Amino acid sequence: MALRADDLIDRRRLRRKLTFWRVVAIGIVALGVIALSAWFYNDDFGGSTVDHIAKVKIEGTITEDEELIKRLETIRLSSKVKAVILSIDSPGGTTVGGESIYEEVRKLAADKPVVAEVGTLAASAGYMIASAADHIVARKTSIVGSIGVLIQYPDVSGLMD
């Protein structure tokens, strides 16, 4: 009976050692995958290792968007981005938001070629941002233009007399 108890204890020890080495092997494989992915995706700011053209979408109402401004600055500073396409589909937005994005696109255009691609609509602040690019491409049915607001209302005060 003592022999069986010793066999059970030895089995438990072997099982613990095997579990330990399995965990170590999984950890080594995980570190290898992390190192390999870091090697493939190594760039100044965590982008691609190959030269490429960045595409930035600007959609909806334009407001002062710090995330978009930081993204444009990161693209400007990246050595792997060779040109930028701004895909714009916006009815406009705030003057401060449009102006801040306009200024960041002008900084970007000073360093790299920038092309604005207009989808359905680029009016007001959307058109202001598009005008900061080096070139604007629009479809035949795209609505482009009108920086600023024009409000028309009838003056019927003469009819009231």
Top pLDDT among 146 and 17 is at: 17
What is the model's pLDDT at position 48?
Answer: 53
pLDDT digits (tens, 9 = 90+) for 62-97: 888 899 999 999 989 888 889 999 999 988 888 888
Could you tell me which residue, 141 or 47, shows the higher pLDDT? 141
Write down the H helix ranges in 41-149.
Answer: 66-77, 95-111, 125-131
Class of domain 52-145: alpha beta
Instruction: Please give the angle made by the CA atoms of 90, 92 and 94, to the nearest 5 degrees.
Output: 140
| % the chain with pLDDT above 70 | 90
pLDDT of residue 47: 52
Report, as an integer, the average pLDDT of 128-145. Answer: 89
Q: Which of 134, 128, 48 is nearest to 92 (CA)?
A: 128
More confident position, 34 or 47: 34
CA angle 121/56/47 to nearest 5° reads 170
Indicate whether 112 pLDDT > 80.
yes
CA atoms within 13 A on the CB side of 69: 14
Asked whether 52 and 80 are in contact (CB, 8 A), the reply is yes
Residue range 16-43, pLDDT digits in tens:
889 999 999 999 999 999 888 877 766 5
* pLDDT for residue 49 is more than 70: no
Residues annotated catalytic, as ranges: 124
Across the chain, mean pLDDT equals 85
Examine the pLDDT at 45 and tell me if it is beyond 60.
no
